[in-house]
Each structure stands twice: as structure tokens, then as C-alpha cells.
Structure 1
Amino acid sequence: MSFNDKVVLVTGASAGIGKAIAILFAESGARLAIVGRNAQNLRAVADACAKDERPLEIVADLSTDEGCERTAKETLERYGRLDVLINNAGVGARTNLLSTDMAIFDKVFSTNVRGVYNLTRLLAPSLIETKGNIVNISSVMGTAVAVGVLPYSMSKAALDHFTRLIALELAPKGVRVNTVSPGVTVSELVQRLTGISDEQYSDYLTDMAKGIPMRRVCQPEHVAKMVVFVASEDCELVTGTVIKVDGGVDLAVESSEIKKQIQK
């Protein structure tokens, strides 16, 4: 799969899945704009992606109008076009109805839903011009039911439906829209949310793998490979889909091992 001369914007690119996506697109020849909130981490990702052309680095908070508007403006000023938008930026929260407050809800939805909606709205005209495509990064928690991840799961369910809605709207204009939905994935974000040590996180992943049919958790690179494939011309008639990369965890989400770990 070649993305030579294609312009790809990856949000949430400073770590984890976003970093893996950016690096794989760079290896496929794409011209990149990468967005993140951590300038130092984003610079390191740009270093890893730099070949003939260094990626455009945009330090921005996409939960804000200013962050979305500046991201769209700087990308189009630099490249004059956009072929692929990867909406990966997101935040999580470990909480439930009886222990949460509206500040947590607003923080999750402002990034995971409003930010995606806003940035996509701003860049849709450019994607129509290039007959480009959008890949949203969701989670199997958008369909799973478990205690302890309430606003996060709601936000991912909203994102999945957003994909279907705009896929239908943009299909006549030649723009494809899909979602890639990871399962249990090795992630610094999850470790930060739980506040556990490296050793504890390793044990957590081992326990989670026991409840996954394929007995393996995802690495960011597994998700990145699917994202790049779905964004490629090999998938020219694929739109409005939610594609799971989860080792079968969605099939076994009711298992005691999975639910026990999610709800801790």
C-alpha cells in the first residue's frame, strides 16, 4: 500500500496507537501532519517519521474550538490539501454514575465527541475535493456493557454512530468514513488512568489476555496496520463500517475475566 504524495492528518499522535499510526503512514510514503498535546513527545514522533519531508507538528488541544481551527488551518496552509483524516485523539475516565461529576463527563465528551465532530466538519470540504477518507478510532467499549467506564463508553458509542451518519452523508461526494475499534491494547493512557506500576500493569495485561479468545492483547501496531489498510485504495468501497481489532474480546466480553478486570 502506497500513500506517496497523499496528505494524512493524525490526531493524538504523540503516543500509543496514534504514534504507531503516524509511523506506519510515514513508512508508506505519506506526507504527514501530526497533532498532540505533549510537544516533546510529538517532536520525538516527528523524528521517527522524518524521511524526505519532516511532518508538520501541531501542538493543540482538540477539545477547544481554537485547537481544531488551528489544526485545520495549519494543515491546509502547509500542504494545500488533505487526503486522509485519522481522528485518534481521545481521553478516558474510570468512573460510574454514582461517583462521577459533570466535569468528568464534559472532559471526555469535549475531546472524544465534540472535538472529532468539529475537526471533521472543518476539513470535510477538503476531503470532498480529494475524494479522501476518514478513519475514526473508537473502542470495543462502545458496545460492551461494564461498570466503571460510563462516560468513555458512551463517547465511543456516539463516535461509532457518528461514523455511520457521516458515511451516508458523504458517500455521494466520494468520501469514505470508517471506524477501527481496538480491544484491550497496550497503552500508557490506561496505565495512567489506573495509576498502577509497570509490574502491576504487566499483571493486568496477563489477566486480561486470559479472557480474550486469541489469548493476546493488542499492540498499537496491530491497530495501525488496520487503519492504514482501511484508508488505502484497497478498501475503495468500504464505508460506514466499524472494524474490530480485538482478538475476539468482543465475543467474550461477558466472560468473568474480562468484566472482572474492567470493573476494578
Structure 2
Amino acid sequence: MSFKGKVVLITGASSGIGAGTAIYLAQLGASLSITGRNKFNLNKVAEQCGQPKPFLVTGDLANENDVKNIIDSTIEHYGKLDVLINNAGIVECGTIETISLKQYDNIMNVNVRSVFQLTTLAVPHLIKTKGNIVNVSSIGGLRPFKNRTPYCMSKAALDQFTRCVALELASRQVRVNSVNPGAVITDIHRNTGMNQEQIKIYYEKMNRAHALGRNGDTLEIAKSIAFLASDDASFITGVTIPVDGGLHVMSFQSCEDIAKQ
């Protein structure tokens, strides 16, 4: 695969899957625009991408003006857009009895509303290049998990968004797909209030929840994103691909038993 001459915008690129995807696509020759809230971490990722250095845009996806600036700045810098990777997302833990409406709104604003807005702004530019979109969803969009109701709802919405927009843009030769990762070792759970020991226990349990017996890593997800964004996937649109070590084929009872251990 080669992304030479392709302009790729990646949200949530300051850590985790977004950072791994930026570094991998840089190796494949992509001209990158990477965005996130943490400028220090974005700079660290940019250093790992090598030369030419990615274009950096700091911003909060929950802020409409920041979202608009991300697109406007990218187009002003590169003059075009070939690939949009909607990667940024957050997790909030809690049951229907404990999670607050504020937490719900926060999840939906970042995981769904910002993706809708950013995609709307990007589409005219993607039509010009016959580009494509890759959304980073979750296995939580395909099956339910306890204590993650708003998160799973947001990812299910993102999956349906992927299918609907793929249908709408197919006649314009713009492809839209998503990847649905299982548990991948990133920093995402640090913002949920879990301490380091709780995070360690969580990932140990999730190892056993996957059919392959282990969690994923960011490079594995990055390679799947790159494939869908590449010309190699030119006849693929409207799909949601589980990249989850077989978690989606594990029985619900097996996962419930693991969660209790």
C-alpha cells in the first residue's frame, strides 16, 4: 500500500489508535493532518512520524468552532483532502442507574455529533478527490456490554451513520467504512476514573474474552484502517469490520462469566 500524494486527516491522534495510525500512515507516505486536544502529545506523535512533519491542529471536538477550524486549516495547508479518519472517542462507565445525563451528553457530543459535523464539512472536499472515510467504532457498537450503555449506543449510532453515508455518497465514488476494535491497550480508560490497578485487572479479564486469548494492539488496528482507506479496498464501502480477536463470536455467557472473575 502507498499513500504518497494522499492527504489524510486523523482525529484523536495524540494517543492510542489515532497516534498508531498516524505513525503507520506516515511510513506509507501519507501527508498528515493530525488533531487532538493535547498539543504536547501531538508534537510527540509528529516526531515519531518523521519527515515531512504532519500538520498539527489542536482543538476540542465538542466545540463546533474547533471542528470547523480543523477542516478549514487542513484545506488551507494542503489544498485538498483524500481521507478522513474519524478516530477520536471517549468512554464513560456507569449503569442506567448511575450515569448522569451530563456524561451521556459528553459521550454523544464527541463520539457522534462531532463526527457528523466533521464529516459534513469534509464531504465537499472528499467528493473532489473521490476520497474516503474510515470511522473508528467499537465492538461495543455490535454487541452490548454492561456498564457501557451510552458508549455502546454512541458506537451503534456511528455504525449506522457509516452505512447511511456510504449509501448516500456511493454515486459520488466516496467510500465510507468503519473498523470495530475489541479491547486494545491504550490510555482511553484513564479518563474514566479507573486507577492503574483497575485498568490492569480490566485488560487481564479482556484477554480471556477474546477468542484469540489476547487484547489487540494499536498497530493491528492501524493496519486495518490503512487497508480500508487504501486503493486496495476500492470496491469496499458501507462495511463495519470487527478487528477484535474474535470477541464478536464469543458467547454472551462466556463474557459475563469472565466479567465476574
TM-score (norm 2): 0.96
1:202 is aligned to 200
TM-score (norm 1): 0.95
2:212 is aligned to 214
Say if 1:204 and 1:261, in contact at 8 Å, map to a contact too.
no
> What CA distance in whole angstroms lies between the structure 2 residues aligned with 1:195 and 1:7?
36
Say if 1:7 and 1:79, in contact at 8 Å, map to a contact too.
yes
Superposition RMSD in Å: 1.5
Do structure 1's residue 237 and structure 2's residue 260 form an aligned pair?
Answer: no
Do structure 1's residue 44 and structure 2's residue 44 form an aligned pair?
Answer: yes
Do structure 1's residue 76 and structure 2's residue 67 form an aligned pair?
Answer: no
Alpha-carbon deviation of 1:165?
A: 0.2
Say if 1:144 and 1:253, in contact at 8 Å, map to a contact too.
no
Distance 1:253 1:119, change over 3 A: farther
Residue identity matched to 1:179: S
1:22 is aligned to 22
Alpha-carbon deviation of 1:200?
A: 4.5
> What CA distance in whole angstroms lies between the structure 2 residues aligned with 1:150 and 1:3?
37
1:129 is aligned to 128
1:151 is aligned to 150
1:31 is aligned to 31
Question: How do 1:65-144 residues align onto structure 2 when only pairs under 5 Å count?
Answer: 65-144=64-143
Say if 1:148 and 1:262, in contact at 8 Å, map to a contact too.
no
> What CA distance in whole angstroms lies between the structure 2 residues aligned with 1:166 and 1:115?
15
Unaligned runs of 5+ in 1: none
> What CA distance in whole angstroms lies between the structure 1 residues aligned with 2:154 and 2:260?
18
Say if 1:23 and 1:45, in contact at 8 Å, map to a contact too.
yes
> What CA distance in whole angstroms lies between the structure 2 residues aligned with 1:57 and 1:225?
22
Say if 2:208 and 2:258, in contact at 8 Å, map to a contact too.
no
Q: Over residues 120-160 of structure 1, what are the superposed CA-to-partner deviations in whole Å (9 max), with x where a residue is unaligned?
A: 00010000000000000000011212220011000000000
Distance 1:59 1:152, change over 3 A: same
> What CA distance in whole angstroms lies between the structure 2 residues aligned with 1:263 and 1:139?
22
> What CA distance in whole angstroms lies between the structure 2 residues aligned with 1:47 and 1:254?
42
> What CA distance in whole angstroms lies between the structure 2 residues aligned with 1:139 and 1:236?
23
Q: Over residues 11-58 of structure 1, what are the superposed CA-to-partner deviations in whole Å (9 max), with x where a residue is unaligned?
A: 00000000000001100000000000011101101111131x211111
Percent identity over the alignment is: 42
Alpha-carbon deviation of 1:207?
A: 2.2
